Amino acid sequence: MSGNALLQELYDTPEAELLEEIRQLRARLGDKVLILGHHYQREEVIAFADITGDSLKLAQRAASTAAPYIIFCGVHFMAETADILTSDAQTVILPDLAAGCSMADMADDAQVNRCWQELADVISPDETVTPVTYINSTAALKSFCGEHGGIVCTSSNCERVLNWAWDRREKVLFFPDQHLGENTALAMGVPESDMIIWDPAKPLGGHTPEAIEKARMILWKGFCSVHQLFRPEHAASMRERYPGIEILAHPECSRAVCETADFTGSTEAIIRHVEQAVSGQAFAIATELNLVNRLRQQHPDKPVYFLSPTICMCSTMFRTDPQHLLAALREVESGHVAHPIRVSAEDSLWAKLALDRMLELA
């Protein structure tokens, strides 16, 4: 049966039957499979995850597991990262191959190589610039960083990684998310005048050679389409409606939102912050909807609101559903995985170097 026909059959199966089969299959497979679930996954999928976490925690878990099969309920770059960090004998499965990340798509290999060449017309990037890629990027960009003395970061360890990068070379080229780089650097005390935003559509990123020579932080013009929907006026309206409310923001939000927030941190940091708060404290949270809804359910004594009046959900994270998870588990049981995630040997080699540099710091 083709993949589409199988999925159609699963969509026609009553939900209770489908969930029961997942439960039984999961139990039969035991240690043969590890199911990783990103915090932004829907509840019905998270319910079956062996480990839930943000990109850093899941990358660490992928690096340490001996399970022959890893089903990564997340998006494409996460499954690639798991493949890079695991052995050739292990197989990584992304339940829905169409689960990508619009931010990761905002910087490709050709654009970043062109940027590096353009920088070479002005400065010597291999001597003066550390490339830092957010983990939300393709394996090719992680490989680029490994090859050019650079590193990977996540939203949990960005400050530590930037310190590492500036200890080595005077400048950082940060991609693909402008906001994580900008918000973290500002929090570290780097003045705005030391940063420029590189627009890959313009020659020299839209800058003069003098501006490039002066910059310490070159920020790629990329963003997360989900986190860009939060606005500072949403925070103002929440404060008016709920005096004493705390505003929590993910650093992929714009600078204006992070500046108005009481706390900015990764998904893991936001979860910890809510867990450690006193009973009765209210929160308005600027990050993906599934995580915010889960926090509301887990902490009925702490009113949790979604910061935006409109629904900001990661549509690609949402693609993974119980039907895709069951199809992946059936493949594991059959021993035939039609489309495993495989990163080329060359990209894996350099990308692993960049990831290992990060994991040593984490």
Residues that bind ligand SF4 in the complex, under the rule CB under 6 A = 40, 75, 101-103, 136, 224-226, 288, 314, 316-317
Between 60 and 228, name the residue whose CB sits nearer to ligand SF4. Answer: 228
Q: How far is the CB of 317 from ligand SF4 (least distance, A)?
A: 6
- Shortest distance, CB of residue 222 to ligand SF4, whole angstroms? 10
d(CA 282, CA 247): 9
Q: Which three-class secondary structure state does DSSP give residue 229? A: helix
Whichever of 317 and 355 has its CB closer to ligand SF4, that residue is 317
Q: How far is the CB of 105 from ligand SF4 (least distance, A)?
A: 9
Cβ at position 316, least distance to ligand SF4 in Å: 6
**Nearest approach, Cβ of residue 104 and ligand SF4 (Å):** 6
Q: What is the 3-state secondary structure (H, E, C) of 140-186?
A: HHHHHHHHCCCEEECCCCHHHHHHHHHHHCCEEEEECCHHHHHHHHH
- In the complex, the smallest distance separating the C-beta of residue 228 from ligand SF4, rounded to whole angstroms, is 9
Decide: 245 and 282 in contact? Cβ < 8 Å: yes
Nearer to ligand SF4, 190 or 314 (CB): 314
Most distant pair of Cα atoms in the chain: their distance = 65
Strand extents, DSSP E, 190-337: 195-198, 217-220, 246-249, 263-264, 283-286, 304-306
Q: In Å, how far are 26, 132, 247, 273, 287 from 268, measured between CA atoms? A: 26, 21, 16, 9, 12
Question: Which pair of structure tokens corresponds to residue 117?
Answer: 């060449």
Please count the residues of the chain: 362
Residue 290, helix vs strand vs coil: helix
Min CB(32)–ligand SF4 separation in Å: 28
CB of 229 to ligand SF4, least distance (A): 10
* Cβ closest to ligand SF4, residue 130 vs residue 290: 290
**Secondary structure class of 136 (helix, strand, coil):** coil
- Give the three-class secondary structure for 18: helix
Quote the tokens at residue 172.
């950082």
Nearest partner of 316 among 146, 74, 53, judged by Cα: 74
Residue placing its CB nearer to ligand SF4 in the complex, 91 or 267 = 267
- Quick one: which of 293, 279, 284 has its CA closest to 263? 284
CB of 52 to ligand SF4, least distance (A): 15
Dihedral (Cα; 53, 57, 60, 64), 10-degree rounding: -40
